[in-house]
């Protein structure tokens, strides 16, 4: 059984090791009651996958291991405060708590500007740097109508 500090040290060790292995300086651990369920490191450049952040990788590994999409009862230890994508993934996974080492400002200082995306979220879509426009909303609604009345759906 590991303490909180030991679990965070593991996430930090993964982040340092990942730099040596050619990845980004990020590592994450998912645990419950001091037992490690899964780990993840940043594999964006290695996997050619912009979503392969340490937290997302740890969530994918945890869910595959348990055969579930719900990680309620588990906690995530990440070497850096999650970016908006990972924060969203952590909410979707229903993890109970986030422990983080570096802050998003620390990440910005070395060239990983997650705070830029946090700032964008506060803006109206029309005011964001990334242009977006609603299209075919009535046709898109069909899947929602079918979902609403479907009786044998798996809710998440
Ligand atoms: Zn992230």
Q: What tens digit of pLDDT does each residue of 12-67 get?
A: 999 999 999 999 999 999 999 999 999 999 999 999 999 999 999 999 999 999 99
Cα end-to-end distance, the chain, whole Å: 30
CA of 12 to the centre of ligand 1 (A): 15
Phi, psi for 154 (deg, rounded to 5): -95, 105
Q: What is the pTM of this model?
A: 0.94
Token digits for 123?
Answer: 């803006």
Contact criterion met (CB below 8 Å) for 3 and 37: no
CA of 52 to the centre of ligand 1 (A): 8
Q: List, for residues 114-146, the tens digit of each pLDDT value.
A: 888 999 999 998 899 999 999 999 999 999 999
CA of 67 to the centre of ligand 1 (A): 23
Distance CA 101, CA 77 (A): 8
Position with higher pLDDT, 6 vs 126: 6
Whether 55 is catalytic is yes
In sequence order, what are the beta bridge partners of 32? 35
Kindly name the residue from 5, 55, 75, 139 that is annotated as catalytic: 55
CA of 27 to the centre of ligand 1 (A): 10
């Amino acid at each position: 059984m590991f303490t909180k500090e030991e679990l965070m040290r593991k996430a930090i060790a993964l982040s340092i090791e990942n730099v040596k292995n050619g990845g980004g300086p990020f590592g994450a651990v998912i645990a419950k009651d001091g037992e490690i369920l899964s780990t993840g490191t940043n594999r964006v450049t290695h996997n050619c996958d912009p979503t392969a952040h340490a937290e997302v990788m740890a969530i994918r590994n945890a869910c595959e291991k348990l055969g579930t999409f719900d990680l309620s009862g588990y906690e995530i230890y990440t070497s850096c405060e999650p970016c908006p994508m990972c924060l969203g993934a952590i909410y979707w996974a229903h993890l109970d708590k986030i422990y983080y080492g570096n802050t998003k400002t620390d990440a910005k200082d070395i060239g990983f500007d997650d705070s830029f995306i946090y700032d964008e979220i506060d803006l109206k879509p029309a005011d964001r740097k990334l242009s977006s426009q609603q299209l075919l909303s009535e046709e898109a609604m069909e899947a929602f109508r079918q979902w609403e009345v479907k009786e044998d759906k798996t809710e998440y």
